[in-house]
Chains A and B, each alone.
Chain A
Amino acid sequence: MKVFPLLRKSAPFLLLGGMVMLPLILEGTMGKGSTAWVVAIQEMMLFAVLALGLNITVGLSGLLVLGHAAFWALGAYTYAILTVVFGLSFWLALPLGALVAALAGFLLGMPTIRLRGDYLAIVTLGFGEVIRYVLKNFQSLTGGDQGIPGIGFKDGNLQWATGWIREPAALSLRRHFSALDLSGDSLLSKSEAISGGLNPSQLQGIFSSLDTNQNGLSAKELLSGEWGFGFLCPSQEAAWLTLGRPLEMFTCKPFLHSPLHWYLLTLLFLSLALLFFVRLKKSRLGRSLIALREDEIAAKSMGINTTKAKMIAFALSAAWAGAAGVLFAARNNFINPEFFKLDNSVLFLAMAVLGGLGSARGTVAGATILWLGPFLLREQFPQFQEYKWLAIGLLMALMMIIRPQGIFGANTGKTRVKLLSLWQRLTKGRISR
């Protein structure tokens, strides 16, 4: 039976394809209610990136970090300040945010990482608190408790990166508004838009300036800048129909700033993080990290520079958190110190612990359970929200006692054996091993 290895090899790609299509499928089946799901899954994926970053230190190297949200905050504030003050583009801020967080991680790690592991836990815990105090009290730069509103997603000079999608958008625009001169500055008025088949209520949402601005919007404006390539389909087409025309998926809606845009961007981000994590785990550095997690003295005697390895792991983990912070600030449009509380550091840790320390799949599973689980339960039982943190705390302690390696336990392989034998039982009717 050769299906299993083939399935295993192609599984990541199938999964990625499925994840790309998921918003459409959700919209096809749930209609308007799907937006909440797309947003929730997007958040889940962002948290999975953060938990994956944390897993580099906690899972691979066995260093307990309790201030992961602080690095997240550094990335978020880096982007927010740079883009609001200097108008820096998102794509440039992404590596910058990662760099700032990594630098902070490096400086913080220097005095503590040589010491026993638990010191790092408490120092990062304190660091998380201090960062929050600084963000609260350094009002001239961070806006204090009010935070920074209106951050947005500045595409900057790198609009070419998404330019390929604007061509079909222009075609679609021409189809609906044949009278409109796309190259010129001719204006699209409200009545024109409606006669072109745009739905007035949607119109309100997207072209909010149409009402106050009697002149309407120019086609140029529609196709660039703030609007990106966003405008509507002539009517509310079911997503099933757009499946046949994938590009319209981007052009049928105000794409930039839409949940779908963030969903796809975060999916890309998570895929890269997963790839990075899996490759790191197999690399020389990753293997030395695992070695020092298992036995530091033995690792040292095998010639591993443990301090250096730990520092790199710590900085890498902080860098991913910083990059996730940039994405979060751009998506959320608003940040304040409350987002970066200890609670979230613990949540990321719980995600990593629940799924399996050192396991990429496990982390995603942990993020799914701990983010979408409460999301589902909140709809069914509104009072669950209050018990969420109690449940998470108890779950962490229980997990350590019952199954310390997490759901997708590293190294044991028992779960896979069970699945394998189940598969064989189903296909052959007997267990071959």
Chain B
Amino acid sequence: MGTLSQAVINGLTLGMVYALIALGYTMVYGILGMINFAHGEIYMIGGYAGATFLGLWGGGLSVPIALGLAVLFSILVSSLHGAGLERFAYRPLRNAPALAPLISAIGMSIALQQYVFLTQGTTPKPFPQFFRQDLVAYEAGIKLFGGTLSPLQGLIIIISTLLMIGLSLFVRHSKMGKAMRATAEDRRMAGLVGIDINRVILTTFVIGSALAAVAGVMVSAYISTIFYRDGYLAGLKAFTAAVFGGIGNIPGAMVGGVLLGLIEALGVWATGASDWKDVFSFGVLILVLLFKPRGLLGEVVAEKV
């Protein structure tokens, strides 16, 4: 903390994570037109899965391999949860009135939170210190304009950037990506030309959950704990990021996430009021909705009758 450049570095790190979670929101919104309120919980479950993996099986492995496996394990766990969510809580409601899937999502969000609470306990789960101590050591960091970029922060920024580039390439060039874009454009029409809608939607949930899982592991390593209530606030902010960039728009979520992280960090830096940090992001949400409801990169879409 302290200097401006440190605030920028912290904000950028946080923003990258918001962007990763926001992608899950925005992809689901783009295709189904619903807010997946339980997405924050998927992120939280990812964090728990990573910490649990390291605690149970990380012992004999070298640090990079253990972390890599932990990320893969949490991707697996989160994707299963995300897919289950889609299959059992959202698919039966796909053609229901708009309110039904939203309420179902809220219910599942609470249920997932409680199920983690019941199985993992009331205290925050610590991320095993052994695996993060070298990464968060500020002495090992790179000095940049008076601020320090710790290895973990650098790693978060690099991994997030790579994942986002990967996702963009996937959506743009792969067959499934094309099918996803077609489904987002017009679900019924996509079905008529032979796209398996259910598979596309399931894949969307799996990809979104996987990204959230990576974010979950990285954040729990970054702040050293993970708690069953963490998903809700992270989800709220990531959603703000998605709206900021223009919901349903993948590059928008990335830009929105990074900007939101920066605004939050700089807001705290400028005012010194770290208690009000969460109020800044909400203020951003209100302002965006007031002046640019389609978001920074969103396009104006006429509502279909």
**Chain A residues within 8 Å of B, Cβ to Cβ:** 58, 62, 64, 66, 111-112, 114-115, 117-119, 121-123, 125-127, 129-130, 133-134, 136-137, 297, 342-343, 346, 349-350, 353, 357, 386-387, 389-390, 392-401, 404
Contact = CB atoms under 8 A, between A and B. Distances in A.
Nearest to A402: B92
A397 B105 CA distance: 7
Nearest to B108: A397
Interface in B255-305: 275-276, 278-279, 282, 285-286, 289-290, 293, 303, 305
Contacts of B92: 401
A397 B278 contact: no
B243 interface: yes
A289 to B, nearest CB: 13
B99 A123 contact: no
Contacts of A394: 107, 111
A397 B89 CA distance: 6
Contacts of A400: 93, 96, 100-101, 103-104, 107
Contacts of A401: 89, 92-93, 104
Nearest to B112: A393
Contacts of A134: 279
B99 to A, nearest CB: 6
A122 B278 contact: no
Interface stretch (B52-60, B142-150, B233-241): B233-241
A349 B103 contact: yes
B104 A62 contact: no
Contacts of B99: 58, 62, 64, 117, 357
B276 A137 contact: yes
Contacts of B98: 62, 117-118
Contacts of A393: 106-114
A420 to B, nearest CB: 28
Contacts of A389: 110-111, 113-114
Contacts of B102: 64, 118, 121
B239 A122 contact: yes
A112 B110 contact: no
A137 B276 CA distance: 8
B118 A386 contact: yes
B303 A297 contact: yes
B167 interface: no
Which of B93, B286, B305 has the most chain A CB atoms closer than 10 A to its own CB? Answer: B286
A390 B305 contact: no
Contact of A392 (B110, B233, B286): B110
Given A64-B99, A386-B118, 12 more contacts: A111-B290, A119-B243, A129-B278, A130-B278, A130-B282, A134-B279, A387-B114, A393-B106, A393-B110, A393-B112, A400-B93, A400-B104
Contact of A390 (B106, B118, B243, B286): B118
A-side binding surface: helix, strand, loop or mixed? Answer: helix
B130 interface: no
Nearest to B290: A111
B227 interface: no
Q: Tell me which of B98, B103, B112, B289 has the highest count of chain A C-beta atoms within 10 A of its own C-beta.
A: B103
Contacts of B236: 122, 125-126, 129
B35 A122 contact: yes
Contacts of A122: 35, 236, 239-240, 243, 285
Contact of B106 (A66, A114, A357): A66
A353 B243 CA distance: 27
B48 interface: no
A133 B274 CA distance: 12
A395 B279 contact: no
B73 interface: no
B233 A129 contact: yes
Interface in B82-126: 89, 92-93, 96-104, 106-115, 118
A386 B113 CA distance: 12
A397 B104 contact: yes
A122 to B, nearest CB: 5
Contacts of A66: 106
Interface in B219-250: 232-233, 236, 239-240, 243
Contacts of A404: 96-97, 100
Nearest to B233: A129
Nearest to A357: B99
Nearest to B98: A117
Contacts of B285: 122-123, 126
A350 B278 contact: no
B135 interface: no
Contacts of A297: 303, 305
A130 B279 contact: yes
A24 to B, nearest CB: 38
Residue in A58, A393, A395, A404 whose Cβ sees the most chain B Cβ within 10 Å: A393
A285 to B, nearest CB: 20
Nearest to B288: A111
Contacts of B97: 62, 404
B103 to A, nearest CB: 5
A14 B39 CA distance: 47
A62 B100 CA distance: 10
28 contacts: A58-B99, A64-B103, A111-B286, A111-B290, A118-B98, A118-B102, A119-B289, A119-B293, A121-B102, A122-B236, A123-B285, A123-B286, A125-B236, A126-B282, A133-B275, A297-B303, A350-B107, A353-B103, A386-B118, A389-B110, A390-B111, A390-B118, A392-B107, A393-B114, A397-B89, A401-B93, A404-B97, A404-B100
A133 B276 CA distance: 7
B275 A137 contact: yes
A390 B115 contact: yes
B159 interface: no
A398 to B, nearest CB: 8
Interface in B188-235: 232-233
A401 B92 CA distance: 6
B34 interface: yes
